[in-house]
Amino acid sequence: MALGSCMTCIKYLMFFFNFIFWLIGCVIISLSIWVLVDKKTFPMIEAAQYFQLVPYLMLSIGSVIVIIGFLGCCGAIKESQCMLATFFVFLFIIFGVLVAFGIFVAVQRETVSEKIGTAGFEAYKRAAQNYTGHAPYNEAVESFHTHFECCGYEKGVRDFRPPLPKGCTMSDGRQVHKLCTVELTIEKVREAEKQKAIILAGVCLGIAIILILGMIFSMMLCCAIRDVM
């Protein structure tokens, strides 16, 4: 089969980008397995109910990306209509899920923020209770203090034994009396959402455009292959 020069260019572009896509999927799968196996390095995963789902979600996403990348690569290089059509269907489903997720987040924005904030506070509390002697917990607690500008989950600085974690004392040595609470965490999450709303919208738009282009190119290539058969 001899495709036109334009279709040949699209064919190899699809192969290249889907190969990169496939590699990204492999990396995500590797990271998710690492998180699931190495509990000591990632103790925060067990700190809150919602965070426990993260590695499984990563594993699922990585697996889907690997399958899509494989179909795109093989479909393009082998000029297989069946694989290209399956590739198109997968992209279409992901596009539909992305749109549905975007609408859900927009409608349930307050509820989503509350759940994320609550899960974040639960993770912080668990890490704070295990602060002494565990480096990953130490880093998580200190990062939380610095970002949320607070200290302690119940009694403030008295929740910790000396030396106090970073963020519990000011530059002049005075102790921080602002308590870390669920309400504070939710408030900060909502502030972050407002600040990053444009960036998130841009990322989602970019992903949507890539998916649409992938669907268009796969169908163009599929039709071109059919015409030369």
Tell me: the pLDDT tens digits for 168-207? 887 677 887 888 999 998 898 888 777 777 777 777 778 7
What are the residue ranges spanned by the domains of the chain? Answer: 5-197+207-228
Cβ atoms 136, 43 nearer than 8 A:
yes
Task: Give residue-wise pLDDT tens across range 31-46.
Answer: 888 877 765 555 555 5
Task: Give residue-wise pLDDT tens across range 77-126.
Answer: 888 888 888 888 888 988 888 888 778 877 777 887 888 888 888 888 88
Cβ atoms 118, 147 nearer than 8 A:
no
Confidence of residue 1 (pLDDT cuts 50, 70, 90): very low
pLDDT of residue 155: 87
For the ranges 26-30, 197-201, 206-210, the one whose mean pLDDT is highest? 26-30
pLDDT of residue 191: 83
Mean pLDDT value across residues 16-30 = 86
pLDDT of residue 74: 87
- Say whether the peptide bond before residue 162 is cis (omega within 30 degrees of 0): no
pLDDT of residue 164: 82
Task: Give residue-wise pLDDT tens across range 136-165.
Answer: 667 778 888 888 888 988 888 888 887 788
Torsional sign, CA 43, 195, 21, 211:
positive
Q: How far is CA 213 from CA 33, 77, 129, 226, in A?
A: 31, 18, 49, 20
pLDDT of residue 229: 61
Cβ atoms 142, 124 nearer than 8 A:
no
pLDDT of residue 183: 92
